[in-house]
Amino acid sequence: MTSLPAPDAYLDHTITGADFTQQRPFETEVYGCTFVDCEFLGADLRNVALIDTTFRGCNLAMVKLRGTRLQGVRFIDCKLMGVSFHELSDFGLSLSFEGCNLNYASLRSLNLRNTRFERCTLQESDLYEADLRKAVFDQCDVTGATWDRANLEGADLCLAHNLAFDPVKCRTRGAKLRLEQLPGLLSRFGFKIEG
């Protein structure tokens, strides 16, 4: 584990193997940092600004984010199960997810325009009223995700697996889909699709 800076001095640091479980590791702003294989289980990150920061191989399950600002934040191979992203500040919000577990996460009502989800699991995640215009779901498992009232205009859902939502309850103009995904979208109408 690397030595840790003071809670108010996280600027351009790389932190490896730190355990912040159930702690409040930062006081105000984290800028240009990389966290590798760190444990943030249930950590309190409320009202902190994380800017141009990368989390790689970290466990951030159940982390507290109320009022937190995430700008230019990358999550790579992270566990984000049950995280309430909907409590984030929407100021400057920009995120990307690669190889992450977002099962049971709440992304409800967030502006996630142009957000990239690559090789992620979003099983039972809450995307209710999320603005997902031009978002990309590349090799993502979205089994049981809630999409009601989401804006999916121009979103690329071609490589989303187990996709099922009610297209009447979402804005879908220009969304990209594959033919084999249609049964999941037509199930609400009682169609039995064969062959």
Which pLDDT tens digit goes with each residue over 118-138? 999 999 999 999 999 999 999
| DSSP, res 6 | P
Give the integer Cα–Cα distance in Å for 106 and 52.
Answer: 22
- Residue ranges, comma separated, of all CATH 2.160.20.80 domains in the chain are 8-101, 105-188
- Do 45 and 67 form a contact (C-beta atoms < 8 A)? no
CA angle 154, 73, 137 (to 5 degrees): 30
Which pLDDT tens digit goes with each residue over 86-111? 999 988 999 999 999 999 999 999 99
- Which CATH homologous superfamily contains domain 8-101? E3 ubiquitin-protein ligase SopA (2.160.20.80)
Average pLDDT for the chain: 93
Beta strands in the chain (DSSP E): 10-11, 14-16, 29-31, 34-36, 49-51, 54-56, 69-76, 94-98, 116-118, 136-141, 156-161
Quick one: pLDDT at residue 190?
76
Q: What's the CATH fold of domain 105-188? A: Pectate Lyase C-like (2.160.20)
Quick one: pLDDT at residue 8?
67
Looking at the predicted structure, is the pLDDT value of residue 2 above 70?
no
Q: What is the residue whose two structure tokens read 């109408």?
A: 189
Which pLDDT tens digit goes with each residue over 9-54? 688 999 999 999 999 999 889 999 999 999 999 999 999 999 999 9
This prediction has a pTM of 0.92
Q: Closest Cα to residue 177, out of 164, 163, 159, 158?
A: 158
Looking at the predicted structure, is the pLDDT value of residue 77 above 90?
yes
Looking at the predicted structure, is the pLDDT value of residue 3 above 80?
no
